[in-house]
């Protein structure tokens, strides 16, 4: 129990993206449950909250500059929406035309049914799709009898793992655009254990991916939040994802959290030697200083590295080793009548072997309700990524021209958009390369020796919105335990 009149503990969170804000929410919740007094401050460098979550409402469009949805099978974002009273605002993907396509060998080809979480469980539809040749399919089926790797084998890349199980062609044409696209990454660098541990588990547990997918298919339930309505695999908010940020900010303000925009932090210093339970010092670049009992860095790893460079060079060094990729999204609004004949399903992905500029394109207004006016179609193109980042050096007009040229060539859309919206994301996507898990473990281990200092966010244990919320919540709970349980 907190003593009446006892001094509140102070916490500063650096970074007001989804990780920082959801960490603040979990801290407030936990402190209340522990009946403790907390003074929480969130410092954000930019003029807006939300970091990569950035919805723009313009001319009847809902344009998502960054993420456009989140996974419902990872429950943490759904649960947060529930706590914030946003459940009624959640929308599923549109019913009906829910196919997705891959651009392959000169045209769009539908991803086959029976592709359970990227693993094909039916070979007939796969053959019909034309995505993989007969010999390629036969090689894929070889997964059934290829033995698992021995325990303790060296960490594998996504490319190595899937090529070993499914063969080169299936990897290049079917798997690579799905797995590497999420990270805007290069599958030969990304660690399978860090990005998709579930596939390593399938191999270990069932002796193969197809065997494992079939076994799991039997046990699968429809994804949904706690007792809530059925949810599609991806969900979003009716008014766009920034509504999650807006509501979080509102609730945190009502809970007395100090939220400060335009406050770039320059460095963080630890309590000095003589102080047993001294304060951390968070220095803004303009030299204003915040003192706190605990500090959580919810900034990208390379920023956290800079903030700790002078006080904790060991941690800073490891944080600085996490690579990032840069991307951009280009949202294009077309007169519906001009493009609807070309658009089917939710959009398409592009295998890296095709050597195109696009990573993927989403037919946003077909995938989600309310994204455009009735007479318009909204298309979102995704460009850049590891090894293709030079596109970000072009000006907006040239990026738009390039996206249009790709759409014309790959899909046939040949008309001028009514409006175009480019969002650049420099060093935005952390790359979980081989060695990532060990690096994160080492970072967390080193931080245990600096009591009261934590890092959280997309750089560590999942870059999707639900993972950021889960990691932020776990971090908040760990700090509460350090502040109140271990201290008592």
Which position among 180, 190, 265, 295 is part of the footprint of ligand FAD (CB under 6 A)? 265
- Least Å distance, CB 454 to ligand FAD, is 13
- Least Å distance, CB 43 to ligand FAD, is 5
Which position among 40, 440, 468, 478 is part of the footprint of ligand FAD (CB under 6 A)? 468
Site for ligand FAD, residues 299 to 358, rule: CB under 6 A: 299-300, 303, 327, 329
Distance CA 313, CA 395 (A): 37
Q: Which is nearer to ligand FAD, 191 or 431 (CB)?
A: 431
9-14 and 107-110 as β-strands: parallel, antiparallel, unpaired? unpaired
Distance of CA 11 to the CA centre of its chain: 26
- Least Å distance, CB 1 to ligand FAD, is 33
Nearest of 372, 351, 404 to residue 101 by alpha carbon: 351
What are residue 278's phi and psi, to 5 degrees? -75, 180
Q: Which is nearer to ligand FAD, 14 or 137 (CB)?
A: 14
Residue 45 within binding range of ligand FAD, rule CB under 6 A: yes
Query: Which tokens go with 154?
Result: 């060296």
Residue 463 within binding range of ligand FAD, rule CB under 6 A: yes
Residue 384 within binding range of ligand FAD, rule CB under 6 A: no
Beta bridge partners of 58: 61
Grouping H, G, I as helix, E, B as strand and the rest as coil, residue 361 is strand
Q: Which stretch binds ligand FAD (CB under 6 A): 3-11, 40-48, 309-317, 348-356?
A: 40-48
Name the H helices within 18-141: 18-33, 76-83, 123-129, 134-141
Which position among 80, 140, 237, 298 is part of the footprint of ligand FAD (CB under 6 A)? 298
Residue 112 within binding range of ligand FAD, rule CB under 6 A: no
Q: Which stretch binds ligand FAD (CB under 6 A): 15-23, 123-131, 187-195, 361-369?
A: 15-23
Q: Is residue 1 a contact partner of residue 35, using CB atoms and an 8 Å limit?
A: yes
Instruction: Please report which helix (H) or strand (E) contains residue 407, including its range.
Output: helix 396-411
Q: Is residue 157 a contact partner of residue 175, using CB atoms and an 8 Å limit?
A: no
Question: CA–CA distance from 358 to each of 355, 405, 411 (Å)?
Answer: 9, 10, 12
Site for ligand FAD, residues 409 to 448, rule: CB under 6 A: 425, 428-429
- Least Å distance, CB 41 to ligand FAD, is 11
Q: Which stretch binds ligand FAD (CB under 6 A): 60-68, 131-139, 340-348, 441-449?
A: 60-68
Distance CA 437, CA 460 (A): 8
Grouping H, G, I as helix, E, B as strand and the rest as coil, residue 193 is helix
Q: Which residues here bind ligand FAD, judged by CB under 6 A? A: 14-20, 43-46, 51-53, 66-70, 264-265, 298-300, 303, 327, 329, 425, 428-429, 457-458, 463-465, 468
């Amino acid at each position: 129990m907190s003593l009446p009149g006892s001094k509140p503990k102070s916490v500063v969170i650096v970074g007001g993206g989804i990780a920082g804000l959801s960490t603040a929410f979990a801290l407030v919740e936990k402190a209340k449950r522990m009946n403790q007094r907390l003074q929480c401050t969130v410092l954000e460098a930019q003029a807006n909250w939300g970091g990569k979550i950035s919805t723009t409402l313009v001319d009847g469009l809902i344009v998502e500059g960054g993420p456009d949805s989140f996974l419902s099978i990872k429950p943490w974002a759904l649960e947060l929406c529930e706590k914030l009273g946003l459940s009624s605002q959640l929308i599923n993907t549109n019913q009906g035309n829910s196919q997705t396509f891959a651009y392959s060998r000169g045209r769009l080809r539908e991803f086959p049914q029976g592709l359970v979480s990227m693993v094909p469980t039916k070979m007939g539809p796969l053959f019909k799709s034309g995505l993989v040749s007969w010999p390629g399919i036969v090689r894929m089926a070889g997964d059934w009898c290829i033995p698992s790797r021995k325990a303790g084998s060296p960490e594998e890349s996504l490319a190595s793992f899937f090529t070993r199980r499914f063969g080169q062609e299936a990897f290049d044409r079917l798997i690579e655009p799905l797995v590497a696209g999420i990270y805007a990454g290069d599958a030969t660098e990304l660690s399978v254990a860090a990005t998709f541990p579930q596939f390593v588990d399938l191999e270990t547990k069932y002796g193969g991916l197809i065997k494992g997918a079939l076994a799991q298919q039997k046990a699968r339930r429809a994804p949904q939040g706690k007792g809530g309505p059925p949810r599609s695999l991806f969900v979003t908010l009716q008014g766009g994802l920034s509504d999650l940020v807006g509501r979080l900010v509102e609730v945190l303000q009502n809970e007395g959290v100090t939220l400060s925009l335009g406050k770039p932090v320059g460095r963080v210093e630890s309590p000095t030697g003589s102080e047993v339970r001294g304060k951390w010092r968070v220095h803004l670049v303009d030299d204003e200083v915040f003192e706190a009992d605990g500090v959580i860095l919810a900034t990208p790893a390379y920023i956290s590295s800079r903030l700790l460079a002078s006080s904790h060079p060991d941690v800073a060094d490891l944080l600085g080793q996490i690579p990032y990729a840069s991307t951009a999204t280009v949202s294009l609004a077309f007169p519906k009548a001009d493009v609807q004949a070309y658009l089917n399903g939710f959009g398409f992905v592009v295998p890296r072997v095709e050597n195109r500029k696009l990573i993927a394109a989403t037919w946003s207004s077909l995938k989600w309700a309310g994204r455009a006016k009735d007479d318009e179609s909204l298309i979102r193109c995704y460009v850049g990524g590891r090894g293709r980042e030079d596109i970000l050096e072009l000006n907006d007009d040239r990026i738009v021209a390039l996206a249009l040229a790709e759409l014309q060539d790959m899909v046939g859309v040949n008309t001028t958009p009514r409006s175009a919206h480019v969002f650049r994301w420099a060093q935005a996507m952390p790359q979980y390369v081989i060695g990532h898990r060990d690096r994160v473990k080492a970072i967390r281990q080193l931080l245990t020796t600096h009591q009261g200092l934590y890092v959280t966010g997309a750089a560590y244990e999942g870059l999707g919105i639900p993972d950021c919320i889960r990691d932020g919540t776990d971090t908040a709970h760990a700090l509460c335990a350090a502040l109140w349980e271990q201290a008592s």
